[in-house]
Amino acid sequence: MYENKFQWARKIGFGFRPKDIIPENIDQWNKEQLNSDNQDIGLNGEGVWPESYNFSLEERLNRLHTFMTKKEKYESDKIAPDEKNKLVRIARDENRVHLYDVYKYWNNAIYGRNTFHQRLVHFWANHFTVGGSNNFRNYIIGDLIYNTIGENLDGPFTDLLQKVTLHPGMLDYLDNVFSSGENSNFTKTMREEGKTAGLNDNLSRELLELHTVSTAKEYSEKDIKNVAKILAGWGLIVSNYTREFNQEKSNGNIKKNIRFEDFIKKPYLKDRSEPGKKNVLGKSFSSGPGSIYKLIKMLAEDDHTAQHLSRKLAIHFIGENVSKQEINEIYQTWKASNGDLAEVHRITLEVSQKTNVKKFLWPTTWMFQCVRLSGAKFISDKNRNNGFGEIQNNGLPKYEPLGILDEIGHNFWSSRQPDGYSEKKQDWVSTEHFDRRIRIASRIYGANPSMSGEEIAEIYGFSDRTKMSISTAKTSKDKFIVALCSPELMEV
């Protein structure tokens, strides 16, 4: 049971800021976390997030297309390499949107009021991993995180699963854009031309193993292949999305009356789909785009999905040593509500409050909490033009916040495996990772925190042993770093 309000706010969120009014009734605060407006917080915690910093999926893909068109032109022009690189760099910076996405990621965590919602966004963005292994996919990862995941955390899991599975980022990341039915018109034509084409089962494997039923379902290789057949025909390569859409439309593979903004929500190409019936887990699916929705509904409502995701939520918010009883409480609510995420998240918060289990925090979760609780000025204000919020001459945010995510080894815009970042403590306690936290703590101290190491130790109820370690440190900076890198702040 979490008696310390400051620690509890860190268990399920990012904690309190120094000037926050600490709630007298923590149960009421919990309700506010569950029911408050999830609108993105404005810069430095003031107002709402600027609309000019938001980008629709259509705009993201069009900006990418603009950059690619300019890049190809400059590379074909007969100009000096230095001048060519400069022009490409300018075109990239003018059109990139993920710097704003990362800016929002920091800003919401440090200044946002509904930090439980932000933690949920981070959890589900990790569950539905889309790694930015290329510069092109980074254009749309923010849309997946904010507009797809963030906007669908209070509804049925079926809706979230459907929208994530068919998101251009997911279809591209797990190579479904290269998949075509073995008996599709596209594959037949390619083979006649002596080219390779056919099914790619990356997305079908991860949809079953990671996103829904898990290996506990004991599905077969045939099930995986048939899921791949149902998925065949969905998606275009992100780097050429706008161009490919226009080409496919002119070739008659996309109906002429379909607008670009409609297609990106349902990116289906009939000529690449697999004809005929498919059987998955004992159920039959006909050909056509409707089969994917039927399949997703079946997987979302499967009992193994409820078990798998209840356990993942429990481990993320409660800890690795969560009990079977605690997992079962979440599972029972999942089943009773038929995967209503609002109810599932509510019970996750309630079970987390009653536990005695400790959770070792992800690097970014810890970092954002440290910035927030210390009152450090990591985002620039009117009197400060350096650090996180520094603006380039062209008006774009600098790369520093993205670089810090790389430095700490926990960047959602970086290349990573489909199973996402680990929840295991042992994967984050190496000497290398501890050194990274020390470096980050030093940077936070350099951003003018309003609380000292001793004050943090007192408020957050540190052990006498940790307080002693802080008191014996030589400088105020060292005391601050010891406090931030203490067991009490890395694990809650």
Domain boundaries, the chain: 363-490
CA distance 264 to 304: 31
CA distance 418 to 397: 29
Residues in the chain where the model's pLDDT stays below 50:
381-394
Written as six digits, the tokens of 321 are 């040593």
β-sheet bridge partners, residue 391: 397
Return the pLDDT at 391: 47
Return the pLDDT at 396: 52
CA distance 289 to 453: 58
Return the pLDDT at 386: 38
Among 284, 294, 283, 287, CA closest to 181: 287
β-sheet bridge partners, residue 124: none
Return the pLDDT at 134: 66
Residues near 469 by beta carbon (within 8 Å), at least 6 away in sequence: 482, 486
Return the pLDDT at 94: 87
Helix (H, G, I), strand (E, B) or coil at 427: helix
Return the pLDDT at 42: 86
CA distance 339 to 333: 8
- Longest Cα pair distance anywhere in the chain, in angstroms? 76
Return the pLDDT at 400: 82
pLDDT tens column, 372-430: 999 998 765 443 343 444 444 445 567 788 889 999 999 999 988 999 999 999 999 99
Return the pLDDT at 381: 43
Asked if 394 and 125 touch (Cβ cutoff 8 Å), the reply is no
**If 0-12 CB within 10 Å is exposed, 13-18 middle and 19+ buried, where does residue 47 land?**
exposed
Written as six digits, the tokens of 110 are 């440090």
Return the pLDDT at 58: 96
Return the pLDDT at 443: 94
CA distance 405 to 412: 8
Return the pLDDT at 384: 39
Q: pTM of the full predicted structure? A: 0.95
Asked if 180 and 233 touch (Cβ cutoff 8 Å), the reply is yes
Name the helix (H) or strand (E) containing 441: helix 431-445
Q: Helices (H) and strands (E) in the chain — how many of each? A: 25, 2
CA distance 9 to 33: 10
